[in-house]
Structure 1
Amino acid sequence: MEKIFRVLECTDHQKVTCATFMLEGEANMWWKTSRQILEAQDPVITWARFLETFYKNFFPESLKERKEVEFLHLTQGSDSVMAYKKKFEELAWFAPAHIDTDAKKAKKLLRGLNPQLKGSIVVLKLRSYAEVLERALLLEDSQRGTIQGNSSKV
């Protein structure tokens, strides 16, 4: 929604109105009670106030801390590079201080790759997240081709 808000140059009031209109189920019930509390404190509900209240309810600090730790310990394991990338990007939201530059993000991605991929990529001294990801995907494809090629010769 924030992407839409930037494009449309929405005011705080418009952001809150649109976002709360989209809430469903539990989130909608939460908003009905939270809105009354927020308006009693200050009738002007800014986007920042809405987000702070929303995140406190749906993403409590304990959850954010668990997700940050999960991100810091994330490794590729037996996942494909794309599956690892997906988990990486989902959890990265909870640990912005650890990847506040492209170089830090690239290093973190590289550190979590499987040893055979990491060993081939680290020597390249890539500094960009996109470059590390691209090399990992290429190497993974190459290794699959080698494995498939060898198995077809047997």
Structure 2
Amino acid sequence: MLVGEAEHWWRGTHHMLTARGVVVDWECFKRMFLEKYFPESVRHAKEAEFMRLHQGGMTVSEYAMKFEHLARFYSQGIAEAWKCQNFAEGLKYDLKRVVVPMAITEFPALVEKAKVVERLEGGNRGVKTTEGPSESKKGGNQRKPYDRP
């Protein structure tokens, strides 16, 4: 399936490996391909990016996609619970404060709950901004008996 420069590279590499008596299996091909087209320095940079990742201005869906993409470059094995913990820690505070106490340890369930909370939080913000200040129609800015002085 390789074409162009990659095809020429593989033909030469394959010839060199077989001449040395190396068994060329899938693992061998992957190792050689990654050494050539995805050097260790780039893998380390992607791993560091994964460890620093936070939701920021992304939606939960965008954050989840980027999180899963970068998680592939993490050099250690990733347990599902650890993955969930790191994902939740990177969420925006408004989402994190609701989602973290749920202690969800299955990644798809966590992402879905975060999306639901995001949708609900977004709806609440919309209501608050359209309502305006709560004022009495008669008295304008009258204080209620339970308001603090």
TM-score range, shorter chain: 0.7 to 0.9
Q: Can you list the C-alpha shifts for 1:83-118, whole angstroms capped at 9, x where unaligned?
A: 11111111111105252x111111111111111111
Structure-1-length-normalised TM-score: 0.77
What's the RMSD between the two structures over aligned residues?
1.8
Match of 1:74 among 53, 57, 61: 53
Which structure has more helix as a fraction of its residues?
Answer: 1
SS at 1:123 equivalent: helix
Aligned residue pair count: 132
How far did 1:152 drift? 4.6
What aligned pairs does 1:22-101 form with structure 2 within 5 A after superposition? 22-42=1-21, 44-97=23-76, 99=78, 101=79
Match of 2:82 among 94, 97, 104: 104
- Percent identical among aligned pairs is 33
- Rg larger in 1 or in 2? 2
Structure 1 residues not aligned, in runs of 5+: 1-21
1:122 pairs with 2:100: yes
Tell me the amino acid that sits aligned with residue 112 of structure 1.
Answer: G
**Which stretch shows the higher mean deviation, 129-138 or 40-49?**
40-49
Tell me the amino acid that sits aligned with residue 74 of structure 1.
Answer: L
Task: Tell whether the 8 Å contact from 1:98 to 1:104 is kept in structure 2 after alignment.
Answer: no
Measured in 2, the distance between the counterparts of 1:80 and 1:74 equals 13
How far did 1:44 drift? 3.6
Structure-2-length-normalised TM-score: 0.80
Counterpart of 2:140 in structure 1 is none
In structure 2, the CA distance between the partners of 1:96 and 1:62, relative to structure 1 (3 Å rule), is closer
Q: Can you list the C-alpha shifts for 1:105-147, whole angstroms capped at 9, x where unaligned?
A: 1111111111111111111122221222111100111122223
Task: Tell whether the 8 Å contact from 1:76 to 1:114 is kept in structure 2 after alignment.
Answer: yes
How far did 1:43 drift? 5.9
Structure 2 residues not aligned, in runs of 5+: 133-149
Counterpart of 1:13 in structure 2 is none
